Amino acid sequence: MLVGVPKEIKNHEYRVGLTPGNVRQLTAHGHQVLVQASAGTAIGLTDAEYAAAGATLVDSAAEIFAKAEMIVKVKEPQPEECRMLRPGQILFTYLHLAPDPEQTKLLQASGAICIAYETVTDRNGGLPLLAPMSEVAGRMSIQAGAHCLEKSYGGIGILLGGVPGTPPAKVAIIGGGVVGTNAARMAIGLEAYVTVLDKSLDRLRALDLQFGRRLNTVYANVDTIEQAVLEADLVIGAVLVPGAEAPKVVSRELVARMKKGSVLVDVAIDQGGCFETSHATTHDNPTYVVDGVIHYCVANMPGAVARTSTFALNNATAPFTLALADKGWQQALAEDVHLRNGLNVFRGQLTHPGIAHLGPVVTPESVLGL
């Protein structure tokens, strides 16, 4: 198969779809790989390394989209990239379609076979291709929130862990999944007062066993979320409904009652955000203020630590990329229900229940004839 890796063009996005090591794996299996020149230069992955791994370097994304049978990316295709997709071409990347009707329509119009990293599953019900970036984003959320709490960034001017004789900051993490667990780990390490809220008692028990008395676990409902948010200096939104738009768990009215100079970090912003006052921001302009509360809503947070993120993502995607290349999409999707769960758009048809609000949805099995 001819696999193409274009350079990412989203704001401050330096990750790359394939590392030289994974290019070498593909070429060792007899596949050809086209990589756009300087695709990984910003994170120290040189064109020479890609060439040594067996890739053919090309100057433009247009040439890659025109020639490749499968496009491997990191972030959702921007409108100009969507328009370069061809009928029957495989697109393997993050899509996050639920809050993005424009991208959805463009992908439908392309006729491409679009497989989303974030809805590929595993035998335990997890999301193995989302998990690495959730780990990164969870850890980064505390780092970003701590900066935003500094007075020079507009915050209330509080140190997360305090110092002897002063209280630590209060951190509320809504959602105890991969993002929430990693956020808690970092906040506890900085000696903040940390509370995780979740609707799953099993998840709360697991967190209690992992962190013990260093972490407060609270069952999430309207009352407990309100109490935690109003007391918090930093709130992390870590709510996920796989493939679907995130629920709004913090209302505009509640934000207006929060401490002035407190901070919201919405890690769910890729799926529309879980705070009613959230809208996507960029690394160029990451924050805005609503009712005196700082909002950090960068839609590609892991892009800030792009080298770490690229290798973490590639470790997870490599087996699936290789399966698609070795077997072709028909056999790969037919044989692996977990990869099949990643199918979001198939030759104009929507194929994931999480995006049913965007149009009629059919099952992957029906379009594949299974």
Catalytic residue annotation: 96, 270
The residues, any chain, with a CB within 8 Å of residue 361's CB and separated by 6 or more, are: 350, 351, 352, 353, 355
Q: Kindly state the tokens that stand for 210.
A: 């992992």
Unique residue bearing structure tokens 């401050």 = 12
Other C-beta atoms within 10 Å of 202: how many?
9
CB 364 within 8 A of CB 351: yes
Q: What is the CA radius of gyration of the chain?
A: 21
Q: Kindly state the tokens that stand for 213.
A: 């008395």
Whole-number Å distance between alpha carbons of 40 and 47: 8
Name residue 329's beta-bridge partners: none
| 95 burial level (CB within 10 Å; 0-12, 13-18, 19+) | buried
Other C-beta atoms within 10 Å of 258: how many?
21
Helix (H), strand (E), coil (C) string for 275-341: ECCCCCECCCCCEEEECCEEEECECCHHHHHHHHHHHHHHHHHHHHHHHHHHHHHHHHHHHCHHHHC
DSSP state of 250: B
DSSP state of 75: S
CB 3 within 8 A of CB 28: no
Paired sense of beta strands 343-346 and 113-116, if any: antiparallel
